[in-house]
Amino acid sequence: VGGALAGLAPGALAKSKYPPENPSWTLSLGPGVVADPYGMPSPFESEVIRRNVPWLTADKVSSISFTPLQHLKGIITPNGLFFERHHAGRPEVDPQQHRLMIHGLVERPIILSMADLQRLPSVSQINFIECPANGGMEWRGAQLNSLQFLHGMVSCAEWTGVRLSTLLQEVGMKPEGKWVLAEGADGAAMTRSIPMAKALDDVIVAYAQNGEALRREQGYPIRLVVPGWEGNTHVKWLRRLEVGDKPWMQREETSKYTDLMADGSARGFTWVMEAKSVITSPCPEMPLGQKGVYQIEGLAWSGNGKVKAVDVSVDGGMNWQQAPLREPVLSKSLTRFALEWAWDGNPALLQSRVIDETGYVQPTLHQLRKARGSNSIYHKNAIQTWKVNADGSVINVQLS
């Protein structure tokens, strides 16, 4: 929030003439209703946009853009700012033509139109989606100085759609069915194998995102939502579900989205996004101003359920204080925390640490490196350290 205010510390603003004067917009009429039948943000917020890191990928067509977490409040990511990850660009799917085919080890294969899908019982869930490569550039050292680029491959929305279990019941699974292959209608024909236990648990075939139709960037007209699991499994532009007895070992679950360990072995099927948190204010884009009372605010989430607690340290992890959580605290959803901090104007090392309902405590980068080396790319859920300088500026650092 506050694109126009980004990076400006309180007090640093030019003193306004208002009051005592009245601004022009108080002395005149503005445009009426339906001036914008579908509304857009204020032009003063034009800096609040998804952004990419040009040097990261060969082409924007198979690339990533990052949510501007530094500007966001609450837990809902507005649809226009939800992060993007495409492997063959964003197809322009005609929902009248689009179909979902369900087949394989089933009694009754079907082809569903989008209208068919909307006739089935639906559910809504607020869930985060995080790319497992979020922060993956930082395994070897501190590189980027930006909350947006370091952590912005996570977003959160209210998803509505049909439970995959409802669909599997409708087609009648055969007992040998142990896996589900999900395939997209994009140029990558993106595929992932989902084990049946997860498929029957909380996976949905979603057609809505924060109330309205899915955005094209998030899979319009339908996508898989696989709560708590790595983003790539949430297959977008979904066109096919096949039930089988074995996993398919597709490119995105062998060459990619497997985690290389220091000894040269690799882990596959590491689906869950383990608990993570980050301080969103202050951050490199939102520095401090004068010394005084601040709210250290941030986001925490866990692919294993609810956030139980978040602790904050201002001395690089030597001492911690529990930060109150904001309602609502939902399973596999972003959760806000905030802790008041009287900044004395001296340099400080800010960290947050989430504990989820399984009791898991967010690890340090040190610990992750010790366990996995520095080449696993994915699943870097380490504690983030922000160095606050005496001038209020905030820097991404890694501790010894």
Partner 1 sequence: ESAGYYGVGETPTEEQIAAWDIDIRPDGAGLPEGSGSVDEGMAVYETYCASCHGAFGEGMGRYPKLSGGEGTLAEDRPEKTIGSYWPYASTLWDYIHRAMPFFAPQSLTDDQVYAVTAYVLNLNYIVDGDFVANKDTLPKVEMPNSGNFVWEDPRPDIQNERCMSDCKDEEVSVADSSQGKNLTPSTTGPLDEGLIE
Instruction: Report the distance separating Cα 106 and Cα 26, nearest Å.
Output: 65
Of 55, 59, 265, 318, which one interacts with its own copies (CB under 8 A)?
59
> Under the criterion CB under 8 A, does residue 70 sit at the interface with its own copies?
no
172 binds, among Co ion, its own copies, Ca ion, none (CB under 5 to 8 A by kind): none
Amino acid at 359: G
Instruction: Report the distance separating Cα 312 and Cα 343, nearest Å.
Output: 14
Instruction: Report the distance separating Cα 238 and Cα 220, nearest Å.
Output: 9
Contact set for its own copies, span 337-376 (CB under 8 A):
338, 340
Compare residues 126 and 230 and give the one whose CB is closer to partner 1.
230
Q: Which two tokens stand for residue 228?
A: 């708590």
Instruction: Report the distance separating Cα 91 and Cα 187, nearest Å.
Output: 8
Helix ranges (H only) for 76-172 are 114-119, 147-151, 164-171
Q: Regarding beta strands 100-104 and 110-112, do their DSSP bridges make them parallel or antiparallel, or are they unpaired? A: antiparallel
> Under the criterion CB under 8 A, does residue 37 sit at the interface with its own copies?
yes
Compare residues 242 and 253 and give the one whose CB is closer to Ca ion.
242
> Under the criterion CB under 8 A, does residue 251 sit at the interface with its own copies?
no
255 binds, among ligand HEC, its own copies, Ca ion, none (CB under 5 to 8 A by kind): ligand HEC
Binding mask 178-207 for ligand HEC (x = CB under 6 A): ----------x-------------------
Contact set for ligand HEC, span 28-67 (CB under 6 A):
58-59, 62
349 binds, among its own copies, partner 1, Ca ion, none (CB under 5 to 8 A by kind): partner 1
**Torsion angle of alpha carbons 281, 282, 284, 289, nearest 10°?**
130
Shortest distance, position 271 Cβ to its own copies, whole Å: 23
> Under the criterion CB under 6 A, does residue 87 sit at the interface with ligand HEC?
yes
Contact set for its own copies, span 142-181 (CB under 8 A):
157-160
Compare residues 116 and 391 and give the one whose CB is closer to its own copies.
116
Amino acid at 332: K
Q: Which residues contact 395 (CB under 8 A, 6 or more apart)?
A: 145, 284, 386, 387, 389
- Which of the stretches 87-95, 163-171, 221-229, 264-272 binds Co ion when contact is defined by CB under 5 A? 264-272
**Taking the mean position of all CA atoms in its chain, how far away is CA 169?**
30
Of 147, 150, 196, 208, which one interacts with its own copies (CB under 8 A)?
208
Binders of Co ion: how many residues, by CB under 5 A?
4
Yes or no: say if 226 and 198 are a contact pair by the CB < 8 Å rule: yes
Q: Look at the block and give the residue holding tokens 């609040």.
A: 48
> Under the criterion CB under 5 A, does residue 193 sit at the interface with Co ion?
no
Contact set for Co ion, span 2-61 (CB under 5 A):
none
> Which of 100, 333, 78 minimizes the C-alpha distance to 205?
100
> Which residues of this chain interact with ligand HEC, rule CB under 6 A?
58-59, 62, 87, 188, 251, 255-256
